[in-house]
């Protein structure tokens, strides 16, 4: 398949995912979650709407600006992982401008917001491999490494948030949250050990071509882990930008929430949005985060905070990421048309 055909196939694939029966099921799940909220909790929706309508726009804009700095930090981290993987594989690293990596991540978040099974992660690897003419399996391995770093930062910040709540004594966090924080870090270790076992045992049973693909994927993942203090630090800054987003959203609504909960809730947002039942965790995140915030806020306030926060972390991503995605596809189409015209002239 040519590069032009690949470029055309990507949006078609996303449209098919968006219109697939699985996507329809996701909206059934969403409807069930909304029905649960409507029947399980007595919510004064008029009060919730009034709270959102009378928000402070200055704090809201601050929340938007802080949120989008996460793509700068995440892009810098992914570039470092890609460079590490290329160096360890003994292949040249194709450098791009600094904002390129953050833009690709933004487009992958858009794809995750409108498709199932986190297709945006695969799209991220595909876009980079296509742009740099490099190995897709190796690029996919760096994306997996990036996700593992994300999980380690999430687990760490969940622990920090829970510790703040316990020390402050204002809120007694549920035991399941503390178990989740520890279990998350343990899961990462199990996953890495599993990859080592797979390379030594499972790959021996695979055909040569599949084994070669897995070796490159494995090298992309394991080869990414270098300069871990910088990698982890950039990941920490990326997630603190999301903590800052929630902090400013809360300020925009003029309410007060314990610091530990402000740190913990965005981590829960990240975990819930990773659940592939609905695109971008739609319905699941709103229900889960508002439930957490109800540890300290009324149900109306909690829902107002969760919904206002999601206008940034979900709706705005569909707009900005969709524009970035469309512009990339149009540029790809222009390149394909130019190439085709050049081929016809040569013929």
Cβ contacts of residue 163 below 8 Å, gap of 6+? Answer: 260
State residue 164's pLDDT score.
86
State residue 5's pLDDT score.
40
State residue 295's pLDDT score.
87
3-state class (DSSP) for residue 135: coil
- Residues of the chain falling short of pLDDT 50: 1-15, 17-19, 23, 333-347
Q: In this structure, is the dihedral angle defined by the CA atoms of residues 180, 185, 190 and 192, taken in order, positive or negative?
A: positive
**264, 124 Cβ separation under 8 angstroms:** no
Q: 């600006």: which residue's tokens?
A: 65
State residue 340's pLDDT score.
42
State residue 334's pLDDT score.
43
Nearest CA-CA partner of 278 in 39, 71, 108, 31:
31
**325, 110 Cβ separation under 8 angstroms:** yes
CA–CA dist 134, 136 (Å, integer): 6
Nearest CA-CA partner of 126 in 296, 7, 35:
7
233, two tokens: 């630090």
State residue 9's pLDDT score.
43
Nearest CA-CA partner of 105 in 137, 138, 81:
81
Alpha helices by DSSP H, listed for the chain, are 3-18, 21-40, 45-53, 57-68, 70-89, 98-114, 119-132, 136-168, 175-200, 208-222, 228-252, 259-273, 284-293, 299-310, 316-346
Centroid of chain to Cα 222: 21
Rounded to whole angstroms, the maximal C-alpha distance in the chain is 77
pTM of the entire predicted model: 0.81
Q: In this structure, is the dihedral angle defined by the CA atoms of residues 70, 76, 79 and 83, taken in order, positive or negative?
A: negative
Domains of the chain by residue range = 3-335
290, two tokens: 């508002």
Phi/psi of residue 55, nearest 5 degrees = -65, 160
Nearest CA-CA partner of 265 in 339, 174, 158:
158
Cβ contacts of residue 3 below 8 Å, gap of 6+? Answer: 130, 332, 335, 336
């Amino acid at each position: 398949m040519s590069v032009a055909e690949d470029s055309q196939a990507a949006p078609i694939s996303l449209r098919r995912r968006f219109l697939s029966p699985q996507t329809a099921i996701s909206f059934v799940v969403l409807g069930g979650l909304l029905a649960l909220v409507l029947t399980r909790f007595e919510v004064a929706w008029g009060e919730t709407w009034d709270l959102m309508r009378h928000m402070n726009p200055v704090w809201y804009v601050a929340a938007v600006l802080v949120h989008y700095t996460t793509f700068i930090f995440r892009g810098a981290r992914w570039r470092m992982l890609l460079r590490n993987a290329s160096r360890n594989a003994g292949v040249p690293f194709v450098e791009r401008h600094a904002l390129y990596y953050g833009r690709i991540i933004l487009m992958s978040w858009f794809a995750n917001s409108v498709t199932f099974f986190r297709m945006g992660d695969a799209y991220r690897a595909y876009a980079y491999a296509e742009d740099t003419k490099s190995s897709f399996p190796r690029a996919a391995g760096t994306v997996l490494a990036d996700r593992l770093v994300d999980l380690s930062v999430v687990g760490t910040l969940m622990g920090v948030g829970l510790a703040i709540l316990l020390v402050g004594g204002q809120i007694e966090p549920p035991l399941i949250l503390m178990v989740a924080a520890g279990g998350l870090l343990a899961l990462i270790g199990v996953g890495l050990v599993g990859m080592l076992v797979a390379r030594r045992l499972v790959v021996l049973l695979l055909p040569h071509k599949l084994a070669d693909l897995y070796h490159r994927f494995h090298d992309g993942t394991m080869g990414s882990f270098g300069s871990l203090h910088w990698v982890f630090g950039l990941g920490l800054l990326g997630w603190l930008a999301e903590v800052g987003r929630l902090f400013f959203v809360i300020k925009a609504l003029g309410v007060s929430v314990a610091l530990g909960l402000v740190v913990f809730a965005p981590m829960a947002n990240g975990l819930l949005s990773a659940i592939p039942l609905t695109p971008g965790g739609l319905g699941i995140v709103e229900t889960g985060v508002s439930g957490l915030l109800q540890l300290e806020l009324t149900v109306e306030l909690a829902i107002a905070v969760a919904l206002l926060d999601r206008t940034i972390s979900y709706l705005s991503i569909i707009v900005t990421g969709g524009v970035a995605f469309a512009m990339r596809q149009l540029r790809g189409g222009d390149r394909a048309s130019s190439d085709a015209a050049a081929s016809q002239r040569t013929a």
